[in-house]
A and B are shown apart, each in its own frame.
Chain A
C-alpha cells in the first residue's frame, strides 16, 4: 500500500457518518449536561481525527481486523468489565484534552509532557501489528505512533533505570468502572528497560488512520505486540523509571495467573484456559481457531531478549 493510500484510507476504514454524528450527539448531550465552559475542552478529545503517518516496514502483511470490531470489543475495565461498556461510556466520559504525561524516576531530565508536544516528538508511523489478548482472541490492528525509545531518549535514563512503569488515568468522575474493586486502581503495567527500548514497542496515538478512540486508550497508550494485550497500558498519565521490577495490576490481583512478563507463549497455558490457539475477531462462526505463535509471531525480533530465561516459570 502506498503512502498516499495510507493517508486516504479506504472507505471501510473511515468512521461511518452515523457513528460520527452519534458521537457528536453524545458530545452535545454531555456539553449540555456539564458546565457550558467544559464543552469545548471535551470536544477535542472525543471524535477521532485524521492522523497522518507513513507505513512502517515492521508491519505484518495480514488483513486488518475491521475497525468497527476493534472499537466495539474492548477490555478497558476503568469503564466496566463488559466488552461493550468502554465503547458505550468512554467516548462521552473520557476527557482527553488537556492531557499531560509525567515522565519521572531514574532519569536525568524528568518532565511533564503535554499531549500536543508528544504528538510532535517524532515522525508518526503506521504499524500493522497482531494483537493477542490473554483471553485467547486476536486481531490485526494498524496502530499509529513512534517507538517508545524516542521518548525515553528525551529524558535520559540513569544507570539505575532497569524497568519502566506505566500508569493509566484513574479518575472516578470519568471512569465509572473505578467504583468496582476489580483491580487495585490505578492500573499499572511495566516493562524491562530492554523491552521498553525495543523498536517494536510503540508509543501509540492512533489507529486506522485517526487518533485513538477513547475506548481504545486515548489519547496515548503503549503497544507491545509480542505480549498479551493487557501489558499495553491505555490512557497513560505517568511513565516512571525504576530500579526494581514494578508490581503490575493483574499480577497484584492474581499472582498465580498473571506474571510480569506475560509474553504470548502458547506452551504455557493460563490456569483457566489453553493458550495454544486463538480466535481471530471478525471471522464467521464456522472458522476455526488458529494456532497461537510464540511471542505472537515476533520471535525473530524479540526471542533474544529472553535468552537463558525459563519462560514457563517466568510467565
Chain B
C-alpha cells in the first residue's frame, strides 16, 4: 500500500507530498499542537483558570497529553486506511508533543502542586494506583523521546521498533491513570471515551496483524 511518488491515496490525496507541501503541512500541525499550550499560557496570565487554578492546569495538561498520545497512535491505522504515506512524517512530531505536554504536566505536579515535597510525592506514587500508572507512563515515555532522532533510529536498527512498541503500554497506562483518578467519584464518562478510542486504535493493529497472518498462511489448518 505504501506507494511511490505519483501514487494517489484515498480522496484524491497523493500518497507522498512534494517536499514543499509536506513542510507546510508539518508547520501547520506544529502550530496546531501549540494551540493548547498558548491557550493555557493566556488563561494563566489573565487569571482565567477558575477557583482552583493548579488543578485546572494539571487537568488541562493531562488531557492534552492523552489527546496527543492518541493522535500519535492514529497515524499508522489512518495511513493504512487512506494510503497517505506522508502521514508517517507527522508521527514523531505528535509523539514529541505528547511528551512535551506530559513533561509540563509532571512539572506542574512537582512544582505547583507539591512544591518539591519529594517525600509526599513518593508516598503518593507508591500508595495511589492512579499516580503509579501516571508515573510509570511518564518514565516509559522518556526513553522513547530520547531515541526519537534519525541517528538513534539508525543506531538501534531493529531494536528501535521493539523499543517504541512501548507506546502501547504508555497509552494504556495513561488511560488507566485517568480512569483511576475519576473512579473515586464514580465519574467514568470522560475516561471511558479515551479508553474506547484507544481500544479502536489498538484493535486496528490487532486486526492488521491478523490479516497479515492470514496472507502468509494460505492454507489454514482444519480440525
Chain A residues within CB distance 8 Å of chain B: 65, 69-70, 72-73, 81, 83-84, 137, 180, 182-183, 253-254, 257, 269-274, 276-277, 279, 281-282, 284-286, 288-289
- Interface assignment of B218: CB less than 8 Å from any CB of chain A: no
User: Chain B's nearest CB lies how many Å from the CB of A224?
Assistant: 20
Closest to B188 in A: A182
Nearest 4 interchain pairs by C-beta: A73-B51, A69-B51, A81-B187, A281-B51
Per-residue 0/1 for B177-212: is the Cβ within 8 Å of any A Cβ (1 yes, 0 no)? Answer: 000110111110100000000000000000000000
Contacts A73-B51, A285-B44; A182 near B186 (Cβ below 8 A): yes
> Hey, which chain B residues are within 8 Å of A286, CB to CB?
112
The reply to whether A72 and B120 contact each other, CB–CB distance below 8 Å, is no
On whether the beta carbons of A257 and B52 are closer than 8 Å, the reply is no
Instruction: Give the dominant DSSP class at B's interface.
Output: helix
A180 to B52, CA, bound (A): 25
Assembled-state Cα–Cα distance A276/B123 (Å): 12
Q: Which of B123, B183, B185 has the most CB of A within 10 A?
A: B185
Sampled A-B contacts (28; CB under 8 Å): A70-B51, A72-B50, A81-B185, A83-B50, A83-B51, A180-B189, A182-B185, A182-B186, A182-B187, A254-B184, A269-B127, A271-B184, A272-B128, A272-B180, A272-B183, A273-B124, A273-B184, A274-B123, A274-B124, A276-B120, A277-B120, A279-B52, A279-B54, A279-B55, A281-B51, A284-B53, A289-B114, A289-B115
**Cα–Cα, bound, A81→B182 (Å):** 10
Residues of A within 8 A of B189 (CB): 81, 180
Q: CA of A282 to CA of B53 in the docked complex: distance in angstroms?
A: 8
Mark interface residues in B47-79 (1 if CB within 8 Å of A CB, else 0).
101111111010000000000000000000000
- Could you tell me the distance between the alpha carbons of A130 and B54 in the complex, rounded to whole angstroms? 20
The contact string, 1 if C-beta is below 8 Å from chain A, for chain B 67-103, is 0000000000000000000000000000000000000
Binding site for A on B (CB under 8 A): 44, 47, 49-55, 57, 112-115, 120, 123-124, 127-130, 180-181, 183-187, 189
In whole angstroms, how far apart are the Cα atoms of A274 and B124 in the complex? 7
Contacting residue for B52 out of A73, A182, A273, CB 8 A: A73
Residues from chain B with a CB closer than 8 A to the CB of A83 are 50-51
* Contact A285-B51, Cβ < 8 Å, known A254-B184, A254-B186, A257-B184: no
Complex Cα–Cα for A81 and B130 (A): 19
Of B57, B115, B123, B181, which contacts A288 at CB under 8 A?
B115
Chain A proximity of B186: nearest CB distance (Å): 5
Q: Assess the A285–B184 pair: CB atoms within 8 A.
A: no
In the bound complex, how far is the Cα of B183 from the Cα of A83, in angstroms? 16
- Tell me whether B51 and A72 are in contact (CB under 8 A): yes
How far apart sit A182 and B183, CA to CA, in the bound complex (Å)? 10
Residues in A whose Cβ lies below 8 Å from that of B47: 284
| Chain A residue with the shortest CB-CB distance to B114 | A289
Closest to B185 in A: A81
For the complex, give the distance between the alpha carbons of A253 and B188 in Å: 14
Cα A277 to Cα B184 with chains together (Å): 18
Among residues of A, the one whose C-beta sits closest to the C-beta of B130 is: A272
- Judge whether B120 and A274 touch: CB under 8 Å: yes
CB distance from B116 to the nearest CB of A (A): 10
Contact partners of B130 in chain A: CB under 8 A: 272
